[in-house]
Amino acid sequence: MTTPRPMTQQRHRSNLLTAAMLLFLLYALFPLLWLIVSATKTENDLFSTFGLWFGHRFALFSNIRQVFSYGHGEYLR
């Protein structure tokens, strides 16, 4: 039979595991954040502003319109 670990040692291990999982979560969600922010920029803002912040003009809806009207609705077919 094994002896149970002291409560402080289990809590310390659990805190380390939680911190590691939070780091992995941030690492996994980072590309999604970048994609959402980049989708709201104009083409000029995409290359002239900081990558993780919004551009001068909010262009999400015009970007979506351009995607679905490209090639006479090629992406809708």
**For the chain, which residues make up each domain, given as ranges?**
7-69
pLDDT level of residue 33 (50, 70, 90 thresholds): very high
Is residue 46 within 8 Å of 60, Cβ to Cβ? Answer: no
| pLDDT higher than 70, residue 69 | yes
Position of tokens 């609705």? Answer: 73
Mean pLDDT estimate for the chain: 88
| pLDDT higher than 90, residue 57 | yes
| pLDDT higher than 90, residue 19 | yes
Question: pTM score > 0.85 for this model?
Answer: no
Q: Residue 55 has which token pair?
A: 């551009």
Average pLDDT over residues 21-35: 96
